[in-house]
Structures are given as C-alpha cells and as structure tokens.
Amino acid sequence: MELGPYLLFASLEGLVHAAVLSLIALGLSLVFGVMRIVNVAHGEFFMLGAIITWWVSSFVSGNPAIGFLLALLVVPIIVGMTAVLSDWLILRHLKYDPEATIIATIGILYIIQQFALMTFGPDAKPVEQPFNIRLDLYWFGFSAYKFFVIFSAIILLLAIWLVMSKTKFGLILRATQLDSETAQAFGIPISRVYNIVFGLGAAIAAVGAILIVPIQQAHYLMGGEPLLLAFIVVIIGGLGSLKGTVAAAILIGMSDGIISVFFSPNIAKILATLLVVVVLIIKPNGLFGTTKT
Amino acid sequence: MDILNDELLYTENLSKNFQGITAVDKVNFKINKNEIRALIGPNGAGKTTFVSLLCGRIRASKGKVFFNGSDISNLPVYKRISSGIGYTFQITAIFSNLTVYENVALSIKNRRDKEKRSIIFEVLNKVGLLDRVSQRSGDLSYGHQRLLELAMGMAQRPKLLILDEPTQGLSDLEIENFKKLIKDFSKTMTVLLIEHNMDVVMSIADKITVLHFGKIISEGDKHSIQSDPLVQKAYLGDQC
Amino acid sequence: MRKDIILHLSALLILFLLEILGIFSEYHQGNFARILVLAAYGVGYNILFGYTGLLSLGHALFFSAGLYASGLSIYHLDYNIEQSLFLGICISALISLIIGFLALRTIGVSFMIVTLMFSQIAYLSILYFGSITRGDEGFVIQQSSRVFLSMDLSNPKIRYYSALLIFSLCMLINLWIAKSPFGRVLVAIRENSDRALMLGYNVKLYKLFSIIISGTISGLAGACYGILFGYVGASFAAVSYSIFPLLWVLIGGAGTVLGPLIGAIFMFYLIDYASDITDAYMIIVGVALLFVTLFARRGIIGELRFRYYKWIS
Ligand SMILES: Nc1ncnc2c1ncn2[C@@H]1O[C@H](COP(=O)(O)OP(=O)(O)OP(=O)(O)O)[C@@H](O)[C@H]1O
Ligand SMILES: [Mg+2]
C-alpha cells in the first residue's frame, strides 16, 4: 500500500479507538466531575462489560446479531449494578475521601479482575461480529462493523449530551458538580445521585466494551490500558467537560491508533503519557489539581 | 526619632482579583512598630485576602508589599515568614495528631534545643496551657486550641503577628484572657488583628482600619471610626 | 524514647536470632530473605506516604530504577556488585529528584495520577527497549557475578544476612528520621501542609527531600533484590509493584517504623497461601485493600500506638 491510503487506513483504525475511548473516558470524567473521586477500577468495569458480552453471546446460537443486541440490553445493567453496589457497600462509607477512595477502588480493581479470571479463565475470548460486511474502499477493504462502532459512539455521545444539557436529571448532575453542599441544601439527594452516577459511569464504559469486543476479544487483563488512556484523555480534555473529553479522546485515540500502526503500541502510549506530563507542567493546577486531598 | 524608621510594613496599590471579583482593591496600608492595629469590615470585605497577600499565601495581582524596609512582593511564603511575619488562620489550624509541645516546637526554628525548650515553656505558661504540654492537641477544647495557635504565633517571635479572627467562637471569659494576652504581646511585637468583636477592637486596638469591598474606607482611632458615617453605612449596608 | 529504641533493636535481634539459632526451615528462610528486602522497599515508601502524607501510585518506578540500573550494569557491562549497587543508588536518587521536581507541581489526586503515569512510562519503556532489557521475560544474573567480598550471595545463609543488613540499615535511617526535627516537619506537612507553610517551612523543598530519600531507599531495595535473587524482569516495574508497598504500609501502619515489615510479612504469607489455592490469588490484595480502608485505617502498629503504646515511633 502507498503512504496515502495507508494513512487513511491508520486514521480509520484510530477513529474506532477514539470512539470507544471517548465512551470510557466520558464515564471516568462523569464520575470525577460529579463525585470528585478518581475511580481506578473504571478499566475493570470496561473489562467486565467485555467478558459478560462474550458470556451472554455464548448463550445465543445462530445469528450473532441477536447475541449482540441481547448484550446491549443486559450488559450495561449488570455492570452498572456492580458499580452501584460497590459504591453502596464501600465508597459511601469512606465519605468519598479522595485518598481512601483511590485505595479502595484499587481494591475493587483487583477483586473484579481476579473474579473474572476465576470465573471465566485466563484465555482471550472472541465474540463474533453482529454482521460481517466488508466495505471496499478502493485501496483496502474495511469492516462495516467498525463504521458501526464509530457511528454508535457518536449517537451515544449526543444522547449523553442531550441528557446533560436538556433534562432535569442533567441539571441535577450539573448542580451537584458545581457545588454539592448547596445542591444538598436545595433538596437534591446527594448520596442517591452519587450512587446513580457511579453506576452510570461504569455502564457507559460497558457500552464501549460491547462495541469493541467483536473486534478485540475479551480478556481479564484488558482493563489496564484503557484506564491509562482514559486518565490521559481526562487530564488533557479538562475535567467534567464533555466536549473537552471527546476532543481529547479523538486526539489521543487517533494518534494512538496511527502511531500504533506505523511504529509500536508501546511508543504510542509512552508519547501520550509524556504529553500529559507536559500538560501538567504547563498547567500544574489544571484538572485534578484544583481538588485537595 | 526618625519617623520613616517607625513603619514596619506598608503596601502600595495592593490588589487581588479572583475571576471577576476584586477582593482587594489598590490598598495603600501602613502599620507602625509596636502598634496594635485592628482590621475590620463586613463579611467578604477582603480582610483575609488582604492579609494573605501580606504573607504571600496568595499572590497579588498588582501592587507591592514592603516589610522592614525591603520589598517582599516577590518573596515566597517561607521567606516572608522567616523575615518576621507570623500568621494564624481564621479557621483552627493545628497539627492535631501532635502534642501541644510538638506543635509549639514546630514554630521555632534555628535555635538550640535548650533555648527552644525554654521558649516553649515560656509561651505555654503565658497562654495557660503549661499543664497540657504532652496532650494530643486534637484532644484540646476549642478554646484551648485557639490559645495554642496564639502560643505558636508567639513562639515564632515575629516582628509582625497577623491574627485572623482569633476570638471567633470563644467564651466571654476566654475573650477577656485573650485581650490581656494581646496587650502583653504588643510589648515585643506589632499586632495586626482581624476582628469582628467590636468590644475587643475598641478596648485593645491603637488604631483601626476599615475595609469594605476591598478598599480602605476609613482609618483612625476608635472615636473617629465610631463616628464615621461611611463606616456606619458599610456595616448597616443597604438598610439605610 | 529509650523503650522505643529498645523495641526496634529487639525486632532486629529477633530476626537475627531466628537465623543464627537455625529456627527457620529452608523454605521460610528464603521467604524471609525476600520479605526483608521488600520491607526495605516498604520503608522507603513509608517515608513519603506515612510521614509526609504524599500518596504515590508509582513507586515501582524507583524500585525498578535500582533493579535495572544495577542489573543491567552487571548483565551488559560486567560491573561488580559494589559498582552496580552504587550505580543503582545514584540512578534512583537522580530519578527521584527529576520525578519529584515534576510531580510536585501537582497536589492531591493529581499527584497520585501523575506518579502512576510516570511509572507507567518506565514500565512501557522497559518493554519497548526489549533488546536491552529483555522485556517481559527479563534476565538472570549469573551466580558467578553475585559475589561480594568473596562471599557467594546466592548462598541462602549469606543471602539472609545480607537482606537483614539492608533492612536494618533502612529501618534505622527511618527511625532516625522519625526522631529528627526533619521528620517532625514532614509529619507537620502531612498533618496540615498549609499550616506548615505558614510556620515558614519551605514545604516544597521538604517534600522534594522526602521523595528523594524515599525513592533512593526504594531503589536500593530494588538493586539488592536483583542482586540477591538473581532475576530482573518487567513485572517488577508494573503497577502491582507500586500497590504492594502501599498495601504493606497500610496494613502495618502508615508512619510507623515497623509497619512496613509487619505488613510485608503478613501479605507475603497470605499471597503465598492463596496462590496454592487459586490462580486468582491477587484477589487477596483487593480484599486486603478494602479491609484496611474500611475497617483498619491505622494499620496494626498504628492501632497499637493509638490505643496502648504512644511512645512507638
Ligand atoms: N480563592 C478564592 N476564589 C474566589 N473568590 C474568593 C477566594 N477567596 C476569597 N474570595 C472572595 O473574595 C472576597 C473577599 O473574601 P475574604 O475571605 O477576604 O473576606 P473577609 O473579609 O475575610 O470575610 P470574613 O469576615 O467572612 O472572613 C469574597 O467575596 C470572597 O468570596
Ligand atoms: Mg476572613
């Protein structure tokens, strides 16, 4: 292949990455924005979503699209409920103290990850694509499903944006994000909101997982890398800002995809992480910096 | 005596903006040696912000601070403190897991052990916490915690001691005791006192500065302040 | 004061007697040699987390800096033990200085994330430069290179004493810091850094010193680990090796001198036991982390100190 088409190919791959990454990062950013906590277990909710998608679709024989639709229906709920439960059983009792919460979510990370290992074993699990159409793009063929992933992510992001800006629920979230004490004084049930947001953040990541797993396979260790990238995105994109998160996800996802294709995945991650360091040096109080321990 | 030599700290057009709000607005302020100065003003007037600019806890947007004859505007906090400014927080800020002794010890630097110990015992004796030296400071009563802060400020032996609402939440008896202590302090140091309790202000301050919306609206002894219509208006606000 | 020093010296004495009286089985002797070096790593971590109150999620970077600096210099450059140890210490000190300088521009949660990121860069770089580091697989330091003053460091007895020596050194440094005015200031910064600043301490500089001491001790432990046990691999640079010292310190008691040792012994045997039962033994780490944050914030020694023995350092 010549350079031009090759670059196009790499960009398309990057866009698929970016689409899924923006969902994962958005979940992380939502939780950080509203609850002011860093959820280190976020990547494991993603992983859980992927593995349960495999599990659900393994029940359905015949057309893989049925399994996929079933997964879209139940997986976000299962993963969301897992998160709701961990908030209710654990984080709530820590009063969301930043340090204790980080340590506890690391604990949750290991428990979910090792639970997946125990229950589903160490092997990577393939999930069939719901439809198998190859589009001929003149220089190369490209899976139609990958376009579907990009498209679905855009739809979902738009939906989230609408909910955040146009509904009463969105207003409650924004009010809590701005000033939780005042919000509470106005009768917003903060602990319920937190509970829901934590579940929602995980569920969004799970949707990302459902979309990616027919391309990538499910594995119990798959949560680490997206977590790192999501951190990078949230730091670069600006806290709790939906637009910033999406923009940064596209930047990071695309460059990760392109650099991975041309050079090596490790170099892509090293560069992205270095970018964060640069951002933090230029803007030390950016993002997380404004919250104190 | 040389008049110039008498001033300990002064500011030139000191200003601070927080996104949109001008909390301190071109303040020219001067305080002389061994004075007790009260800084008063309604809630949100900018008092805490102003003194934070003096000690460097907040960076000024504009203007200069001179202390003891030299420009300290660009010095970091720790250097300003070591040059002789002491500061106690509006909210209680002690090291609650450390003992009373350790708290005071932390405020004394660059001295030999023996000397240090004698200063600690001296200041604790003065504020009446000597019998609590080895108690965990978090276990002290609120009033005692505020006294501990005073002791810490005093042990620093600053040239200028800034106290941000030290009597807040104290009982009348504790306030009486506190007034005596400040009087005593002022023999060896200059005191800049932010205070809402007018009784305290009127009975111990040599001079009073009134801040309103980040500006000095009046300055003088207690009689001139009490009779200043601008001050009355600031305090009564829109009601009149 | 007296009691305190006696307590810590007797802990070291017990560790010495266990060996010299032959109480250890070979199995436990090997385990304890590892635990002692890891506990030294924990001591390093504790200086920053327990005393200064800075939670790093990236200490594996410092541990592996020492590990790789000394390991690679033996493997590629035929350095002897003294030279490689010295290099390991210097490199980890230098890296702590640089990382400290950069990471301290942030506070609170961002500090935790930034340290995690730095450590991740190191981990990924080790994998990327696989031709030098041998990547995931790692490399073995030959027994013939592990000789110090004509003592064979792979000999279990000598290895145990060396490990004990290193741990004792780190622990005594920790004890000395805890009792020094410098240590008091670190604790003051942990308790209320704003107040410490307003007492005229150059808080940033103290934090930087704390990172350098912490990182260098961690690097020393890393260098010794490679030399004593003869293996250097990327897994030591992975996230879990940043979480382990946090966990040891939390279990044993943050800001206590013996805490890291107690925590390391406890977790080592717990994981050892769990790994006989299941492949998913790391679940123990998760459960332990939740347990300490929910029910035992002070850790074992911390609780003892809080309830009964206020004099423990
Ligand atoms: N960090 C900050 N960011 C934004 N605005 C601030 C900040 N600190 C203070 N302000 C604003 O600056 C103004 C002055 O506040 P300041 O705390 O100095 O008042 P004060 O006179 O000390 O009041 P009080 O008597 O209640 O202590 C207020 O309007 C306050 O809301
Ligand atoms: Mg104030």
- The CATH number of the domain where B185 resides is what? 3.40.50.300
The two tokens of residue A40 are 């280190």
The CA dihedral of C154, C156, C159, C165, to the nearest 10 degrees, is -170
As a whole number, mean pLDDT of residues C51-79 equals 94
**Which chain C residues are closer than 8 Å to A35 by Cβ?**
none
- Considering every ligand atom, which ligand is closest to the CA of B196? 1
- Judged by DSSP in three states, B25 sits in strand
Searching chain B, which residue's CA lies closest to the CA of residue C181? B106
Q: Say if residue A284's pLDDT is above 80.
A: no
For residue range C121-137, list pLDDT tens digits in order.
Answer: 899 999 999 888 898 88
What is the C-alpha to C-alpha distance for residues C42 and C49, in angstroms, rounded to an integer?
10
Of B81, A269, A286, the residue nearest C105 (C-alpha) = A286
Confidence of residue C108 (pLDDT cuts 50, 70, 90): confident
* Structural contact between residues C48 and C96, judged by C-beta atoms closer than 8 angstroms: no
Signed CA dihedral, A87, A89, A95, A99: sign only: negative
- End of a domain among B130, B157, B184? B157
Searching chain A, which residue's CA lies closest to the CA of residue C116? A228
Q: Say if residue C32's pLDDT is above 90.
A: yes
In this structure, what are the phi and psi dihedrals at residue C199, rounded to the nearest 5 degrees? -90, 5
Q: Are strands B7-18 and B21-27 parallel, antiparallel or unpaired?
A: antiparallel
Give the domain range for residue B212.
Answer: 1-84+159-240
Q: Say if residue A141's pLDDT is above 80.
A: no
In this structure, what are the phi and psi dihedrals at residue C160, rounded to the nearest 5 degrees? -60, -45
The two tokens of residue C51 are 């005393």
The two tokens of residue B111 are 């001295």
| Same structural domain, B152 and B187 | no
Q: What is the pLDDT of residue A240?
A: 65
Contact assignment for C194 to B107 by CB distance below 8 Å: no
Residue at token pair 């979510």: A105
The two tokens of residue A252 are 């990071």
* Structural contact between residues B186 and B36, judged by C-beta atoms closer than 8 angstroms: yes
| Same structural domain, B126 and B164 | no
- End of a domain among B157, B185, B210? B157
Q: Are strands B215-220 and B207-212 parallel, antiparallel or unpaired?
A: antiparallel
What is the C-alpha to C-alpha distance for residues A11 and A9, in angstroms, rounded to an integer?
5
Which residues lie below 8 Å from residue C270, measured CB to CB, with a gap of 6+?
C284, C288
**Which chain C residues are closer than 8 Å to A266 by Cβ?**
124-125, 127-128
Of A163-167, C16-20, C68-72, the least confident: C16-20
The two tokens of residue B91 are 């909210």
| Same structural domain, B12 and B37 | yes
Q: Say if residue C171's pLDDT is above 70.
A: yes
For C251-279, give one letter per residue: b (16+ CB within 10 A) or e.
Answer: bbbbbbbbbbbbbbbbbbebeeebeeeee
For residue range A55-109, list pLDDT tens digits in order.
Answer: 998 888 778 888 888 999 999 999 999 999 999 999 999 988 888 999 999 999 9
Alpha-carbon Rg of chain B, whole angstroms? 18
Q: Say if residue C146's pLDDT is above 70.
A: yes
| Same structural domain, B48 and B11 | yes
Q: Say if residue A238's pLDDT is above 80.
A: no
Comparing CB atoms, the residue among C184, C192, C201 nearest residue B102 is C184
Pocket test for ligand 1, best of B14, B17, B21, B167 (most atoms within 8 A of CB): B21
Comparing CB atoms, the residue among C185, C192, C198 nearest residue B55 is C198
Which residues lie below 8 Å from residue A250, measured CB to CB, with a gap of 6+?
A15, A18, A22
Tell which A residues from 11 to 40 touch C, by Cβ distance under 8 Å.
Answer: 38
Q: What is the pLDDT of residue B240?
A: 44
CB atoms within 10 A of CB C19: 18
What is the C-alpha to C-alpha distance for residues A216 and A220, in angstroms, rounded to an integer?
13
Q: What pLDDT tens digit does each residue of chain B (240 aa) get?
A: 444 558 888 888 888 988 888 888 888 988 988 889 999 888 888 889 999 999 988 888 888 899 988 889 889 999 999 889 999 887 878 898 888 999 999 988 877 778 888 889 988 988 888 888 888 888 888 888 988 988 898 888 899 999 988 888 888 888 888 888 888 888 888 999 998 888 888 888 888 888 888 888 888 887 787 777 777 777 766 444
| Same structural domain, B222 and B143 | no
What is the C-alpha to C-alpha distance for residues A50 and A211, in angstroms, rounded to an integer?
9
Interface A:C, Cβ pairs < 8 A: 130
The two tokens of residue A34 are 């509203």
Contact assignment for A104 to C105 by CB distance below 8 Å: no
Residue at token pair 């800002």: A241
Neighbours of chain C (3+ CB pairs under 8 A): A, B
- End of a domain among B138, B157, B176? B157
For A140-157, give one letter per residue: b (16+ CB within 10 A) or e.
Answer: eebbebbbbbbebbeebb
- Judged by DSSP in three states, C238 sits in coil
Of C116, C119, C111, the residue nearest C54 (C-alpha) = C111
What is the Å distance from ligand 1's center to B48 Cα? 7
| Same structural domain, B145 and B164 | no
Q: What is the pLDDT of residue B237?
A: 61
The two tokens of residue A147 are 């376009």
| Same structural domain, B180 and B109 | no
What is the C-alpha to C-alpha distance for residues A59 and A67, in angstroms, rounded to an integer?
8
Q: Say if residue A289's pLDDT is above 70.
A: no
Number of domains into which chain B is organized: 2
ipTM: 0.86
